[in-house]
Amino acid sequence: MRRTGVWLLGAHGNVATTAMVGARAIAAEEVGTGGLVTAQDPCHRLDLPPIEGFVFGGHDVSATTVSSTARMLSERATIPPEIVKAVDEDLERIEERIETGTAINCGRAIEDRVERAFSERNVSDTVARLREEYRAFVTEQNVDRLVVVNVSSTEPPLSDPGRYDTVSSVERAVADDDRDLPASSLYAYAALLDGYPYINFTPSTGASLGGLKALARRKNVPHMGRDGKTGETLLKSALAPMFARRNLRVRSWEGHNILGNADGRVLEDEANEAGKLASKSGVLDGILDEEFHNRVRIDYTPPLGDWKTAWDDIRFSGFLDTPMKMQFTWEGSDSILAAPLVLDLIRLIVHADEHGEGGLQPQLASFFKSPLGVDEHDLSRQFGMLTNYVNRYEGIDD
Amino acid sequence: MRRTGVWLLGAHGNVATTAMVGARAIAAEEVGTGGLVTAQDPCHRLDLPPIEGFVFGGHDVSATTVSSTARMLSERATIPPEIVKAVDEDLERIEERIETGTAINCGRAIEDRVERAFSERNVSDTVARLREEYRAFVTEQNVDRLVVVNVSSTEPPLSDPGRYDTVSSVERAVADDDRDLPASSLYAYAALLDGYPYINFTPSTGASLGGLKALARRKNVPHMGRDGKTGETLLKSALAPMFARRNLRVRSWEGHNILGNADGRVLEDEANEAGKLASKSGVLDGILDEEFHNRVRIDYTPPLGDWKTAWDDIRFSGFLDTPMKMQFTWEGSDSILAAPLVLDLIRLIVHADEHGEGGLQPQLASFFKSPLGVDEHDLSRQFGMLTNYVNRYEGIDD
Amino acid sequence: MRRTGVWLLGAHGNVATTAMVGARAIAAEEVGTGGLVTAQDPCHRLDLPPIEGFVFGGHDVSATTVSSTARMLSERATIPPEIVKAVDEDLERIEERIETGTAINCGRAIEDRVERAFSERNVSDTVARLREEYRAFVTEQNVDRLVVVNVSSTEPPLSDPGRYDTVSSVERAVADDDRDLPASSLYAYAALLDGYPYINFTPSTGASLGGLKALARRKNVPHMGRDGKTGETLLKSALAPMFARRNLRVRSWEGHNILGNADGRVLEDEANEAGKLASKSGVLDGILDEEFHNRVRIDYTPPLGDWKTAWDDIRFSGFLDTPMKMQFTWEGSDSILAAPLVLDLIRLIVHADEHGEGGLQPQLASFFKSPLGVDEHDLSRQFGMLTNYVNRYEGIDD
Amino acid sequence: MRRTGVWLLGAHGNVATTAMVGARAIAAEEVGTGGLVTAQDPCHRLDLPPIEGFVFGGHDVSATTVSSTARMLSERATIPPEIVKAVDEDLERIEERIETGTAINCGRAIEDRVERAFSERNVSDTVARLREEYRAFVTEQNVDRLVVVNVSSTEPPLSDPGRYDTVSSVERAVADDDRDLPASSLYAYAALLDGYPYINFTPSTGASLGGLKALARRKNVPHMGRDGKTGETLLKSALAPMFARRNLRVRSWEGHNILGNADGRVLEDEANEAGKLASKSGVLDGILDEEFHNRVRIDYTPPLGDWKTAWDDIRFSGFLDTPMKMQFTWEGSDSILAAPLVLDLIRLIVHADEHGEGGLQPQLASFFKSPLGVDEHDLSRQFGMLTNYVNRYEGIDD
């Protein structure tokens, strides 16, 4: 069985924990594959690396453990307690492979919550240390391949990202100890340098810098991002095309999200929230031509725990300019929605890597709120891009 | 300018009235083309007959007038009063072309509401009379083409429709004065016999009988149905594929519709409701593979007038079988949603007729809850079928 | 500590089980008293019998056990598993005191589900057996007082209840083996005969017959019913007075309830549903003067388990007859909402009994959808009746 | 017929316009009295001044007219066009009695929108001018009494209002040309000085200053405020007592309001919003004892016009600490909800004035979000206070 190394940035968080618990529970045949896109047609026609062969490790800046996050989630009606119990030994083994991370330039809201973090003399040493940690994991765990996945808290948007538009500008910034490069980009840089595929499941900067995209192309390493499309935005990308194709003109689309997990707490900080909001509201602008009132709110409501409620109010006009409306609520567990997509992305990016597909991976657009390099936001057409990819490889894998 | 004859069955009803008011208001440049699918890409690339050239006539069994229906709708916040006023003279001229209809085998709920109806000695004479009325309209109005559109109240489903599976079985039934053939099918039969395209915007039987479909093929007349997809079902066909493709297993989908117009009153009758419910719930079964609880309710709530509220409650499970949910409300005017689609369908079926495309028209699937001859219920893919049709004709029309 | 015998009709059901689990968990100090009206002001000023002193027994016609119902509820996210575990031994002891019940005249939907039931030769013997069982429980458990509480599935409404308007008409019916007297009334009759207070938490007939009310007065036994007010109807009684007092005229109030427990399954049967619907829609008619469209639907949706979602759509008009609207959803666990009220009612009816208050207990009106003998449906005024009762006894109890 | 002078501050606004249109339409018997609390029991038992006898005048800082506001509202589906037409002559006559107002210390958002405003040399002259205008109106219109009502846009909260705690401190501030005293308080001061009852329907400071309350007592002038309770907060005061009395512990109550009128535009400004939010969230704190997450958001959504949608999400726990929830939407026209309350308040404060009841009027608490001098926020109990007042006067009025 192919062994796939999975290096999770934010390994103690809810999404990472749920992904690891789920992967081990699937391996133990404790649960089915509900929620996994790769478990069904069309993706199951590809020869994807088995989830059973995933070997987990990662970084985190919190002092908790995967086990205790898992228990906390099971108390909040997210993961069934018997499943946590069934994989608890696995989680303890994984814990030994989770290293202390760094939180450089992650914004005050995250930095204030850092419980442990390494600090090297300069950026250059930080990158060297990350590379060394990736390499050590690959060797010790004897994995065939390593995928680095960012599922840590949202950083504030980077101002003037254009200054890192070339590989050399990034290299120079690292050499010059430029303290503006955020942690997410350093993790990505270290990964790409040594040919490890990189997935950015968050709105953070990651590998979205021009210089890192160029590096990925040069090294022919697949990478993709950003910001996993799990709930309200997923619905927007499914519903907005209906309005557009039926010539029903949207006048206002108000989205109000309340959530109670750590992600919500970080987004209380306006700087960190900015990136998220841009990513959430951009989808509609990408589908609807008309001018309309487009607002997204994200509020932290502690009693909801890991659960998230989105309420959207959509006003539109149709024939004879008659005003009409639609409202919806979506209530799901953030981690439960995100975790299977993380596992899907790992399997699919390994497939791309195995077939020499470097650079951005547009066939993965349906997984992201802001798919890098893809203008298409219509969910159905994004799914079509994935199907086309599968069709292209059908017969080749065998 | 091409003159297109439009013969509306149920011409005094809300949908027909709104379609006529809208068409005339567009001709008078009183309103824009919001809500019209054919007013935008891709359809606007086709050489479609102009709405300004539509000449209306029709049948009805009620003693009201188009004008008074229009005024009633404007009092119920559906059509703006100034628009009704602007086209009122046109409506009076149309009224002269609306004939007394027939309501054979339409179910007790409709028959009880018939205010005027013709009755010929037998079915054969009824068909002869309908053909004569169609023909007279074409001649008198000097139209280039005639399209017959069923927008009348829903009939109960026909029992054992298989007995009308061949052209000859239909011919025999007409000759033998078979009183089971419903009005909607007689109207369709009369139209197809003389080569007039036929659209069934309702769940009634219409041209869905095997014998009528064969007749349309033999005469090479385009026709399509059934049951316009205007609201809740439109949403189902946009949302269900999202659940399916994301492997989120739907456990129950409850739809509760309340509406207050004549359509709602007729659907109070269980026999008439049966056809509607089958059509509304079938869409989900066509998209979702899993077993789930699927219920649709339609209730008559007079204070709503022509407005319709759908409330849907969707329970699904995802990763680790965690139960989650979505709820939505959709509030629109039934007529405002339906009328532009009626105009779109007329334009598109004329295009098909002009290009010799007889029989069922699968490219129109996105307009219908139960598209005849089409298994695809995914809205986006149905739109794709329309785009493919347009692409096929691009360049040819010129 | 006062020992209060609690005899639950439908002891294996969700409500009974949750009440027993909760009472024992409170006794063991495993949980607080959230949801208990008697745990706070004004009722806590009365000298009420302690929940810790409740001794449970009862009847049921199902072959399951309290323990397995409790476990089932804990799997459906109703009762926390650790609480079930904490009281499991108590439940096993209670199980020994649950007798096989009778389901005479309970309607087909219940009778079809009977797994075990006793059948005596005639009604007279049935009553004798019930009295004997009550008496045996009192003696064996050495309780100070016995309260009989009906929490079993809803029976169909009794036709022509006027025929049982006197004590002698009931006595004659029992003597003549009249098979129309439903189980709920036989249980009530047996209780009242021997001076045991009786609570009807369901819409079934119970002690609502004129003859039984007279018997209660004659014997000076307190009793009250019917149909616990736990969710949608509770909201109606809180909201409708607001519309009334503000002169906002309700035009339609649509209530759509979906639930997935055994109660829901029984209500699938139209005969059993009739009583429930009458009780649920009557509240509004008792508060609002105007004519309006008033409909309640209850649908069985298995995936919801013990959870219940009510969706209400309220249209009203205000100043200048402008139409406006309100919609709400209420999502709660039926058993969790009902169980504390059952415990409250037991405590309060024992208090009435201890102070010689026989017959109907209007101060308990706020607990019921159809409070016997009370026309007041305004929730706030009903609470006022309870406060007045408490004020009346304050100082006396000491 | 008693002639009541009504002086509206913000006379060109939506609420004032709707109140005047409605009053004149009632006088002309064009509409009924729906929405008027005083049109029904208990208030109709009092001898209240007739709405037909209301004579309107007022101040405004906008350059529009009542007629054009009325027409704008009728285009936005608020006031039926035929009603505006029926009273249009009345509105033109009223327009002549609307004076240019002042906007001193109303916050940037209002000041930026001032289209016309008078400016006297100093505060003392401003007050003198207001008094003169009130007096002139009374004389010219020959009214029996004058009521001053603030329905203008919301000012920012006054910092350190304690400095105006005595009559002399207010007098000194006026004499010293203290530019912190907001317009709403100057209008109130001028009214109270000459014995005109004052109603503050907004969250602005108005007569809530200690010095003005003392002045009203000294002069025995009735006044009341503040912030009319028309929608979301009305519901909170109806629903929260239900949770409280049933011991259902609220964990979070999220309220999200979207509205599209001028009021909404002013509230876009954070300074002006602060007062509104305090008033809206305070109601819950006044009813619920427990600690809970309490947030209110107000967002400006232009396409909604005068319509307002509140969405509230309430999480609570009950028995065994089980989490449950309620969500509601309330969709009404702000002006239609507010206007009848304004007319009610005028009638009731005149009644108080006629009977020598000076100072704050607690019996009017149910009309306000933050009833001055009243701690009771339970709607039903507030209605009870009004009923008690009526009962006290019953028989006396005759």
Q: Are strands D307-317 and D249-259 parallel, antiparallel or unpaired?
A: antiparallel
User: Comparing A221-230, B145-154, B199-208, B278-287, which segment has the lowest mean pLDDT?
Assistant: B278-287
- Interface touch B319/A331, C-beta < 8 Å: no
Between the CA of residue A313 and those of B305, D137, D303, what are the distances in Å?
23, 46, 12
Using CA coordinates, name the residue in chain B closest to A82.
B320
Which sign does the torsion angle of CA C241, C247, C248, C249 carry? positive
Give chains near A: 3+ CB pairs under 8 A.
Answer: B, D
pLDDT of residue A397: 58
Residue for token digits 């205790």?
Answer: A68
Show residues of chain B in contact with A18, CB under 8 Å. Answer: 319-320
Q: How confident is the model at residue B263, as a pLDDT?
A: 75
Chain C residues within 8 A of B313 when measuring between CB atoms: 258, 309, 311
Question: Which of B78, B232, B258 is the best mutation test for C, with the most CBs of C within 10 A?
Answer: B258
Q: Which residues does chain A have within 8 Å of residue D309's beta carbon, measured at their own beta carbons?
A: 313
Q: Which of B252, B301, B327 sits opposite C329 (nearest CB)?
A: B327
Nearest CA in chain D to A329: D327
Handedness of CA A64, A69, A70, A74 (dihedral sign): positive
- Say yes or no to pLDDT of C398 above 60: no
Q: Do A304 and D315 touch (CB under 8 A)?
A: yes
In one letter, which amino acid is C17? T
Give the mean pLDDT of D310-320: 95
C39 contacts in chain D (CB < 8 Å): 247
Interface test with B, best of C292, C297, C315, C333 (most B CBs within 10 A): C315
Place of tokens 């739109």: B383
Closest CB from D254, D304, D311 relative to A299 = D254
| Pick from A79, A239, A317: CB nearest B320 | A79
Kindly indicate the confidence band of residue B396, based on its pLDDT and cuts at 50, 70 and 90.
Answer: low
Contact between chains at D303 and A323 (C-beta distance less than 8 A) = yes
Question: C297 and B256: CB-CB below 8 Å?
Answer: yes
Query: Can you say whether the dihedral through the CA atoms of D264, D268, D272, D273 is positive or negative?
Result: positive
Question: Strand pairing partners for D323?
Answer: D317
Taking the CA of residue B188 and the nearest CA in chain A, the distance in Å comes to 27
Residue A398 has pLDDT above 60, yes or no: no
pLDDT at residue D4 is higher than 60: yes
Is it the case that residue B53 has pLDDT exceeding 90?
A: yes
Q: What is the pLDDT of residue C396?
A: 66
Do A34 and B318 meet the contact criterion of CB atoms below 8 Å apart?
yes
Q: Please answer yes or no on whether D297 and A295 come within 8 Å at the CB atom.
A: no
Label residue B397 by pLDDT band (50, 70, 90). Answer: low
Q: In this model, does residue A372 exceed pLDDT 70?
A: yes
> How far is it between the farthest Cα atoms of chain C?
68
pLDDT in tens, A70-116: 999 988 778 988 899 999 999 999 999 998 888 777 767 777 778 87
pLDDT digits (tens, 9 = 90+) for C205-258: 999 999 999 999 999 999 999 999 998 999 999 999 999 999 999 999 999 999
pLDDT at A78 (0 to 100): 83
Query: Is B132 a residue whose pLDDT tops 60?
Result: yes
Q: How far does B307 lie from chain A, in Å, by closest CA?
A: 10
Chain B CA closest to residue A245: B37
Residue D105: which region, alpha, beta or left (left: phi > 0; alpha: psi -120 to 50)? left
| C300: alpha, beta or left? (left if phi > 0; alpha if psi -120 to 50) | beta
Q: Rounded distance, CA C190 to CA C167, Å?
A: 13
Nearest to A301 among D252, D299, D309 (CB): D252
Q: CB burial class (10 A; 0-12, 13-18, 19+) of residue B129?
A: middle
CB contact under 8 A, C319 and D327: no
Interface probe for C, chosen from B75, B265, B311 (most Cβ of C below 10 Å), is B311
DSSP annotation string for A6-29 = EEEETTTSHHHHHHHHHHHHHHTT
Contact D318 C336 (CB under 8 A): yes
| Chain A residue closest in CA terms to B81 | A320
Inter-chain CB proximity D242 and C235 less than 8 Å: yes
Task: Tell me which chain A residue has its CA closest to the CA of residue B26.
Answer: A320
Predicted local distance difference test score (pLDDT) of residue D396: 66
Six token digits for residue D249: 């512990």
H helix or E strand, kind and range, residue A242: helix A232-245
Query: In D, what residues contact A, Cβ < 8 A?
Result: 251-252, 254, 256, 258, 292-293, 295, 297, 299, 301-304, 309, 311, 313, 315, 323, 327, 329
What are the pLDDT digits (tens) for B263-321? 777 777 777 777 777 777 788 988 998 899 999 999 999 888 889 999 999 999 999 99
Please provide the DSSP assignment of B190-231 as one string: HHHHTT--EEE-SSS-GGGSHHHHHHHHHHT-EEE-S-B--S
Nearest to C363 by CA among C346, C342, C348: C348
CB contact under 8 A, C324 and D339: no
What is d(CA D337, CA D309) in angstroms, rounded to the nearest whole number? 13
Shortest alpha-carbon distance between residue A90 and chain D (Å): 31
Nearest CA in chain C to B309: C313
Average pLDDT, chain A: 92
**Which residues, 6+ apart, have CB-to-CB distance to A75 below 8 Å?**
none
pLDDT bucket at C121, cuts 50 / 70 / 90: confident
Q: Are D219 and D268 in contact (CB under 8 A)?
A: no
**Burial degree of B113 (CB within 10 A; 0-12, 13-18, 19+):** middle
Q: Write out the two tokens for A170.
A: 């990034």
Q: How far is B81 from chain A (nearest CA, A)?
A: 11
Nearest to B340 among A318, A336, A383 (CB): A318
* C-beta atoms of A337 and B331 within 8 A: no
- Whether residue D189 is predicted with pLDDT greater than 60 in this model: the reply is yes
Contact yes or no for A199/A346 (Cβ under 8 A): yes
Q: How far is CA B205 from the centre of its chain?
A: 12
Q: Which of D322, D333, D378 sits opposite C322 (nearest CB)?
A: D333
Chain D residue numbers touching C319 (CB-CB < 8 A): 18, 22, 34-36, 336-337, 339-340
Q: Closest to A242 (Cβ–Cβ): which among B21, B247, B379?
A: B379
| pLDDT given for residue D8 in this prediction | 97
User: In this complex, which of A299, A313, A323 lies closest to D309 when CB atoms are compared?
Assistant: A313
pLDDT of residue D264: 76
Q: What is the largest CA-CA distance in chain B?
A: 68
User: Minimal Cα distance from B292: which residue of C?
Assistant: C303
Share of chain B above pLDDT 90, in %: 77
Beta strands in chain D (DSSP E): 4-9, 54-60, 98-100, 145-150, 198-200, 222-225, 249-259, 293-300, 307-317, 323-333, 359-360
State residue B262's pLDDT score.
75
Task: Please state the domain extents for chain B.
Answer: 4-228+336-392, 232-333
Residues C227, B95: Cα–Cα separation, whole Å: 57
- Give residue A77's pLDDT: 76
CATH of domain A232-333: 3.30.360.10
Q: Which residues of D touch C332 (CB under 8 A)?
A: 318, 324-325
Q: What are phi and psi of B180, to 5 degrees?
A: -85, -20
Query: Do D200 and D148 meet the contact criterion of CB atoms below 8 Å apart?
Result: no
**pLDDT tens digit string along D157-188?**
898 999 999 999 999 999 999 989 999 999 99
B373 alpha carbon, distance to own chain's centre: 16
Region C81-107 average pLDDT: 89
Mean pLDDT for B348-367 is 97
In terms of Cα–Cα distance, which of C255, C361, C362 is closest to C311? C255
Spatial strand order of the sheet with D145-150 comes to D98-100, D54-60, D4-9, D145-150, D198-200, D222-225, D359-360
Task: Please check whether residue C314 is in contact with residue C252, taking contact to mean a CB–CB distance below 8 angstroms.
Answer: yes
Q: What is the pLDDT of residues A269-307, one digit of tens each?
A: 777 777 777 777 788 988 998 899 999 999 999 888 889
Residue D101 pLDDT class (50, 70, 90 cuts): confident
Chain C's closest residue to B252, CA to CA, is C303
Q: Do B321 and A22 touch (CB under 8 A)?
A: no
| Long-range contact set of residues B127-133: C-beta below 8 Å, sequence gap at least 24 | B127/B174, B127/B186, B127/B189, B127/B190, B127/B193, B130/B102, B130/B186, B130/B187, B130/B190, B131/B190, B131/B193, B131/B194, B133/B59, B133/B99
Q: Which CATH architecture has domain C4-228+336-392?
A: 3-Layer(aba) Sandwich (3.40)
Instruction: Quote the DSSP letter at residue D10.
Output: T
Residues of C in contact with D245 (CB under 8 A): 37, 366, 379, 383
Q: Are C277 and C298 in contact (CB under 8 A)?
A: yes
CB-defined contacts B:C, below 8 A: 55
- Listed in sequence order, the residues at least 6 apart from B236 whose beta carbon sits closer than 8 Å to its beta carbon are B253, B255, B283, B284, B287, B312
pLDDT at A154 exceeding the cut of 90: no
Q: Which residue among D239, D247, D333 places its CB closest to the CB of C35?
A: D247
How far away is chain D from the Cα of A252, in angstroms, using its nearest Cα?
Answer: 7
Within 10 A of D168 (CB to CB), how many other CB atoms are there?
10
Looking at residue C368, what DSSP letter applies?
A: B
Report the pLDDT averaged over residues B116-141.
91
Chain A residues near residue B34 by CB distance under 8 angstroms: 247-249, 317-321
pLDDT tens-digit profile of D23-68?
999 999 999 999 999 999 999 999 999 999 999 999 998 889 999 9
* Separation in Å, CA of D331 to nearest CA in chain A: 12
